[in-house]
Amino acid sequence: MYALPTVQEYNWSASGYDCSLDTPVNLSLPSHQLLDGAGLRRDPDNGDWCTSDGTRVVRVLTGHRPTGTIDTLLASRDWLEQRLRTLNAALILGLFGERQPRTTDLTRWREYSQTAGLQPGHEPTVQEQLTRIKVNRNP
């Protein structure tokens, strides 16, 4: 058994040599490993992925909050587990980041990480979120 990435992403900041677009481009799709040979088709109007009988198994959602737009890629657990079983694979998700206060004098910030996994036929595993406060010793 091996691990697969869940998504493939493309991000472009709308700057640089090719400025044919005035706004940034962000695209998230199910990974090539999950899609290749799965027999899905993508609906060009909404970005959802469906089986040959029209059953939606992957959905793209966009939401808004005060800090900006959130794009979410959701997959049917039944479809995902069957696909992982076919590929003899497991899925591992990782969240790594940091939260910084909005100030020009950065002296402290929080780093965090968390992992989760899905293996066909088993309950998902979610590790406790790890956080730590970092201190700039050279302000």
Quick check: 51 pLDDT over 90? yes
Contact 8, 31 (CB under 8 A): yes
Q: Where are the alpha helices (DSSP H) in the chain?
A: 32-35, 77-87
Q: What are phi and psi of 83, to 5 degrees?
A: -65, -45
The percent of residues above 70 in pLDDT, for the chain, comes to 86
CA–CA separation, 10 and 132 (whole Å): 30
Q: How far apart are CA 101 and CA 104, in angstroms?
A: 9
Q: Which of 81, 79, 70, 88 is nearest to 121 (CA)?
A: 81
Gap between the Cα atoms of 60 and 1, Å rounded: 28
Q: Is the pTM of this model over 0.95?
A: no
Q: What is the mean pLDDT of residues 105-124?
A: 85
Q: What is the structure's pLDDT at 68? A: 82
pLDDT of 5 higher than 80: no
pLDDT > 90? residue 55: yes
Q: Which two tokens stand for residue 62?
A: 């966009």
